[in-house]
Amino acid sequence: MISSIGASYLGSRPAIIEHKRLGGDCLWTGCVPSKSLLASSHLSHAMKHAEKLGLQTIVPTENSRTALERMRNIRSKIALHDDPERFRKMGIDPHFGLARFKNPDTLEVEGVGTFKSKRIILATGARPKIPPIEGLDKCGYLTYENIFELEVYPNCIGIIGAGPVGIEMAQIFNRLGSKVVIFEMKNRILNEEDPDVSICMQNILLSEGIQIHLGNQIEKVKADGYKKIIITPNNERFIVDTILLATGREPSINTLNLEAANIDIENGIVRTASTLVTSNKGVWAVGDVNGGPQFTHVAEYSASTAVRNAFLPFAKSIEYSCVPHIIFTDPEISHVGLTSSQAESKGAKTFRVDFEELDRAITDGKTEGFLKISVDRRGKILGSSIIGYRGGELLQPIVLAMKHGLTLPQVADTVFAYPTMGEGLKRTAMSYQKSRLESPLGSILKKCITWLN
């Protein structure tokens, strides 16, 4: 959709070919439904713990049915932005059907016809990765593609996979009243995050009553009447009502007939140059299908880069180093750039502020978590991780500073309003400044000041 809007701005008359509904995973099975349910689940949790803020606790009932209804209403509301008519008004022609390549510059669309173009942008997204688990087909399971269609949540759900999707869904289910058991083959949840961040989240989930079984690569499941049994490698058995597979996503390319277009694939991913062009010089691949970070903002960024490169000279390369990501749990986790261990291995230093030191976190009763920023010798930001209240919003000024090469001394020289979570950034910058005063040069400066006074 972003590619077609960009192409129409540049004066072309693009066609979008979509085999289901405009809006893709983000609207129907990803960001929008999950964030809507997270909002309900977080409020439900806050109501149950209102005494923390000096209020009477209320235990909400019939949580999941009404929260699921609300989520579907929100999805329909946001779907209006992706109404085909809106695209037609912009000079874009939407066509509905499954597309496959007939030859390098022609697509065949089931039930519609053929489309020939000098410029084709592949944006077919990703689909759930299904691991080879014995008994899965007989037993039945859900993925993010159908979990949002449930009418009511099960009493007990087993979630296989503790990446961002598994963990967000675990908190939703648990807070809306299901018993949740997570199985993860790695030794910690959210394995892509810094260990201190994932361990902090793990402790929060455990404290909320979620069961987590680490180092468990599930290879077998079994049906038992209406129940399902998840069997761990050391033969422990867990009886659940529903299994959610959250074991990753893989590019959606199987129906595209890419060979007919001379488009190379590497390890199941469409191979692209940094300019996003494929091995076919008239085809670009954007979003989840090209194997880059799987986020909506990355899909948008890559779509606008590819359209630019398709129509204009001096192709631009895609650059992921300042691209942030957020996990919308409570508290939120956010990250940009290098992890602290990656940065430190390059000689960088990491500065950390715990949320319990921030007045705003204290007033709002949200003191769990921390913010850390790794910087080079000049104070240039190389990476940052946050786990804590509004961690996603708090990361945004750090991304801006990092992208434009601002240093922590420049941040320290900026006035931040009190009391805000943004002060966490200022505090980190101040600890960097303090560390400079502890250097040999800083000691000389302090001696001069003492001498002058």
Ligand X SMILES: Cc1cc2nc3c(=O)[nH]c(=O)nc-3n(C[C@H](O)[C@H](O)[C@H](O)COP(=O)(O)OP(=O)(O)OC[C@H]3O[C@@H](n4cnc5c(N)ncnc54)[C@H](O)[C@@H]3O)c2cc1C
Write out the residues near ligand X by the rule CB under 6 A. Answer: 17-20, 24-26, 29-31, 34-35, 98-99, 123-125, 144, 165, 252, 255-256, 287-289, 294-297, 299, 328
Cα(68)–Cα(176) distance, integer angstroms: 10
Q: In the complex with ligand X, which residue's Cβ is closer, 286 or 382?
A: 286
Task: Please state the closest distance from residue 366 (CB atom) to ligand X, in A.
Answer: 20
Question: 3-class secondary structure for the chain?
Answer: CHHHHHHHHCCCCCEEEECCCCCHHHHHCCHHHHHHHHHHHHHHHHHHCHHHHCCCCCCCCCHHHHHHHHHHHHHHHHHHHHCHHHHHHCCCEEEECCEEEEECCEEEECCCEEEECCCEEECCCEEECCCCCECHHHHCCECCCCHHHCCCCCCEEEEECCCHHHHHHHHHHHHCCCEEEEECCCCCCCCCCCHHHHHHHHHHHHHCCCEEECCCCCCEEEEECCEEEEECCCCCEEEECEEEECCCEEECCCCCCHHHHCCCEECCEECCCCCCECCCCCEEECHHHHCCCCCHHHHHHHHHHHHHHHHCCCCCCCCCCCCCEEECCCCEEEEEECCHHHHHCCCCEEEEEEHHHCHHHHHCCCCCEEEEEEECCCCEEEEEEEEECCHHHHHHHHHHHHHCCCEHHHHHCCCCCCCCCCHHHHHHHHHHHHHHHCCHHHHHHHHHHHHHC
Task: Please state the closest distance from residue 86 (CB atom) to ligand X, in A.
Answer: 16
N residues, the chain: 453
Task: Please state the closest distance from residue 108 (CB atom) to ligand X, in A.
Answer: 10
Task: Please state the closest distance from residue 226 (CB atom) to ligand X, in A.
Answer: 26
Task: Please state the closest distance from residue 155 (CB atom) to ligand X, in A.
Answer: 22
Task: Please state the closest distance from residue 297 (CB atom) to ligand X, in A.
Answer: 5
Contact 316, 305 (CB under 8 A): yes
Task: Please state the closest distance from residue 390 (CB atom) to ligand X, in A.
Answer: 15
Q: In the complex with ligand X, which residue's Cβ is closer, 328 or 370?
A: 328
Backbone angle region of 420, left / alpha / beta, with phi > 0 → left and psi within -120 to 50 → alpha: beta
Q: In the complex with ligand X, which residue's Cβ is closer, 251 or 424?
A: 251
Task: Please state the closest distance from residue 395 (CB atom) to ligand X, in A.
Answer: 13
β 156-160/242-245 pair status = parallel
Task: Please state the closest distance from residue 433 (CB atom) to ligand X, in A.
Answer: 34
Q: In the complex with ligand X, which residue's Cβ is closer, 97 or 419?
A: 97
Q: In the complex with ligand X, which residue's Cβ is closer, 202 or 329?
A: 329
- Could you tell me the two tokens for 334? 């956010």
Q: Given the structure tokens 């180093």, which residue do they identify?
A: 321
Task: Please state the closest distance from residue 361 (CB atom) to ligand X, in A.
Answer: 23
Question: 3-class secondary structure for 391-404?
Answer: HHHHHHHHHHHHHC
Packing angle between helix 63-79 and helix 31-48, nearest 10 degrees? 140
Task: Please state the closest distance from residue 253 (CB atom) to ligand X, in A.
Answer: 8
Task: Please state the closest distance from residue 410 (CB atom) to ligand X, in A.
Answer: 29
